[in-house]
Amino acid sequence: MKHASTSETIISVKGLKNSFGEQVVHDGVDLEVKRGEIIGVVGGSGTGKSVLMRSIIGLQTPIAGEISVFGENALEQTLEEATEMRRQWGVLFQSGALFSGLTVAENIQVPLREFYDLDDALMDEIAAFKIALVGLGPEAGPKYPSELSGGMRKRAGLARSLALDPQLLFLDEPTAGLDPIGAANFDELIKSLRESLGLTVFIITHDLDTLYAICDRVAVLADKHVLTVGTIPELLEFDHPWVQEYFRGPRGRAAAAAEGHD
């Protein structure tokens, strides 16, 4: 049973254009994300899924278009306004992007140190809470990333992305490299955190199991724009070769069967 999102638009992308030299990646991308939903973004290699996310969070400057987050123009902000907006979202990059020279607890404290002036005892308490929140034991706190399994590093990275109690969570291929059981457990964690924390979640993924299990809607990037956005049943009826091959291929049928949609 999917979560019912509100009609409030929390992210709006209109006419987005991105290019790298002569290579045009996006040419008129439009997308709206509603508060409270988990939206998946899929597309073939080179369609600019990560570029879209990086544009929204300010790591990529588009050559044209509009982006608003929380109703604010994300492309025309003062440094102070941009900093305040960044405080309201968390990002989990594909590799986890943890600092190798810091412990898990110290990694979680990095954004806290950036935005707040807190005493060490309180930061230790917050880090311990975030570690528990993502399903890691207290023994994970003093460990370094190199001492963790791939699944534990993902959870540690997720804990850091939640350090500032964000409203919005960006996940870039969160289950990549995980075994099927670990991936399913991570999906369930994301779904439960959405419910308990009231998050809006933007997921870039190629994992069909994730799309079926937790996404309310899925946006398909192809031909340099968002081809369509809809629920899985709606996408199954969408007449486009890539969409049909992706969702009705062997892996798509297996994911559908696993979720009882066969």
Give how far Cα 27 sits from Cα of 45, 76, 180, 219, 224, Å.
16, 20, 35, 16, 5
Radius of gyration of the chain (CA): 18
Is the pTM for the entire model greater than 0.85? Answer: yes
Q: How many residues does the chain have?
A: 262
| Sequence-ordered alpha helix ranges (H) in 141-249 | 150-161, 180-197, 208-214, 232-236, 241-248
pLDDT in tens, 5-40: 568 999 999 999 999 999 999 999 999 999 999 999
| Per-residue model confidence as pLDDT tens digits over 48-77 | 999 999 999 999 999 999 999 999 999 998
* Burial (Cβ within 10 Å: 0-12, 13-18, ≥19) of residue 7: exposed
Reference 39, options 52, 26, 20; nearest CA is 52
**pLDDT tens digits for range 159-179:** 999 999 999 999 999 999 899
Least confident of 49-63, 201-215, 227-241, 247-261: 247-261
Q: Mean per-residue pLDDT for 147-167?
A: 95
Cα–Cα distance, 6 to 8 (Å, whole number): 5
What's the pLDDT tens digit per position in 213-234? 999 999 999 999 999 999 999 9
